[in-house]
Amino acid sequence: MNLKEVLKKVKYQIIKIFGSGSTGSIFKNMSILASGSIISKLIGFASYPIITRIYSPADFGVLAVFSSTIFILLPFSTLRYSFAIPLPKNDILAFNLLSTGFIIAIVLGSLLALFFVISGNFIFNLLNIVEISEYWWLLILAIMGAALYELLTNWASRKLKFGAIAKTGVWRSSISVIIQIVLGLTGYKSMGLVIGETAHKMGGGISLLRIFIKDILKNISTLSIKYQFFLLKYYKNFPLFNMPSDLLLVFTSKVPILYFAYQFGPDYSGQLGLALMIISVPLQLFGKTASLAYYAEIARIGIREKKQVFAVTKSVLYKLIIFNLFTFIILLFSPSTFSFAFGSKWIQAGEFTRILSIYLLLEFITTPLTKLFLLYNKQSKYLKTSIYRTGLVISSFYISYSLSYDPYQTLSIYTVFMCVHFFLLSYQIYKIIK
């Protein structure tokens, strides 16, 4: 059975469960994305018992800090104009927005490289993350690759080419895993993980570029500086509000890794890194795939049909709760599972996972619904919720630092504060949709 047949079978089973109509359309598209995600995540899961026996917790600590730095810097790479690509009424404007994103990514990527050449060592030493200082050039490549992937993923979503996204996910996961295992066995250790992660970020963008190269060549004659400046102004709320919101969101999600690396060292940050890597699977699998499909559907419906958007949102929310309750129950038994699957040295990662699973259930459910802020042009409200979240996260780690909490106490208070945030976010979403 080839990859195409496997993707079709997984897709059929999800459609069978979730039915038809507007919600069915979302879950049909989600099923295409999820089919690729399931296979790519299965590849990742199958590799973890091997990779965790090749690499040490300290090696994973380096990877965790490297990946966190990518995600923190990524919102700057396109100024979040990429998320406006599905919105224009015609492909001419959408393509001009796509090309504008390319230009922004190249310019800002070049400036970031210059910054690292001049001040990189000082910054890495100041933040106590010197372990990634020698990989700054890989950091640039990974960020540029991730920016390209983000732009083309939104173009694919606009064109309803969810199959292309699914296949790309499988391909880049496979390449990344192979590189990490081969380099690990040949003694590259942390560098093997970092190179594999860079290949993962770059591979997705390059793969989608190959798929949409004909689209790009066909539309290149429609490029217009006039259109580009118009679009920069028309969608100015994305860099003004959405980018800071996403930056704060990513920063607060990566603060635990950076704090653990600073306060407890690479071994503890490695344990936490594996925990976050594993628990991100359901969020990547259903949260982000549902976000793409849900956003495409509500953008198609439009802001004038508020009752229809509300009905679709209510149905999607109900089904996300069913999905994620099952995931939550599994995560509660993670300590013994981690020890068996990854080796006894990783049991601490399982204990971290059990603590974090309490708030992650809320995150999995609310993540797709935050697209309502974009649909109704409420980016300023989303920014406010992100600021509140940042305040809560910083407060939790300030308390931990002041009271000299151990890693378990630190994650426990972080989890409590995050639960508060997601309850507040849910209330804001309800106010918008109602």
Residue 255 has pLDDT above 80, yes or no: yes
Residue 360 has pLDDT above 60, yes or no: yes
Percentage of residues in the chain having pLDDT higher than 70 = 86
Give the confidence band of 37 by pLDDT, cuts at 50, 70, 90: low
* DSSP, residue by residue, 244-287: HHHHHHHHHHHHHHHHHHHHT-HHHHHHHHHHHHHHHHHIIIII
**Per-residue confidence (pLDDT) for residue 36, from 0 to 100:** 63
Q: Over the stretch 151-209, which tens digit does the pLDDT of each residue have?
A: 999 998 888 787 788 788 888 888 999 999 999 999 888 899 999 999 999 988 898 99
Residue 302 has pLDDT above 90, yes or no: no
Compute the distance between CA of residue 88 and CA of residue 94 in angstroms, rounded to an integer.
6
C-beta neighbour count of 20 within 10 angstroms: 10
When pLDDT is averaged across residues 22-46 and rounded to a whole number, the result is: 64
Compare 281 and 166 and report the one with higher pLDDT.
Answer: 166
Overall residue count recorded for the chain in this entry: 434
Mean confidence (pLDDT) of the chain: 83
User: For 96-110, 256-270, 277-291, 387-401, which range has the lowest pLDDT when averaged over its residues?
Assistant: 277-291
Compute the distance between CA of residue 279 and CA of residue 289 in angstroms, rounded to an integer.
16
Give the confidence band of 259 by pLDDT, cuts at 50, 70, 90: very high
* DSSP, residue by residue, 83-149: GGTT-SSSHHHHHHHHHHHHHHHHHHHHHHHHHHHHHHHHHHHHTT-GGGGGGHHHHHHHHHHHHHH
When pLDDT is averaged across residues 401-428 and rounded to a whole number, the result is: 93
**Per-residue confidence (pLDDT) for residue 35, from 0 to 100:** 63
Q: Over the stretch 92-139, which tens digit does the pLDDT of each residue have?
A: 999 999 999 999 999 999 999 999 889 888 888 877 677 788 889 999
Compute the distance between CA of residue 381 and CA of residue 387 in angstroms, rounded to an integer.
10
Residue 1 has pLDDT above 60, yes or no: no
User: For 101-115, 261-275, 398-412, which range has the lowest pLDDT when averaged over its residues?
Assistant: 261-275
Any residues with CB less than 8 A from the CB of 9 and at least 6 apart, and which? Answer: none
C-beta neighbour count of 16 within 10 angstroms: 9
**Per-residue confidence (pLDDT) for residue 331, from 0 to 100:** 66
When pLDDT is averaged across residues 142-153 and rounded to a whole number, the result is: 94
Distance of CA 92 to the CA centre of its chain: 28
Compare 321 and 257 and report the one with higher pLDDT.
Answer: 257
Give 20's DSSP letter.
S
336 and 324 in contact (C-beta within 8 Å)?
no
Q: Is 228 helix (H, G, I), strand (E, B) or coil?
A: helix
Q: What's the first-to-final CA gap in the chain, in angstroms?
A: 47
Residue 61 has pLDDT above 70, yes or no: yes
Short-list 255, 331, 347, CA closest to 57: 347
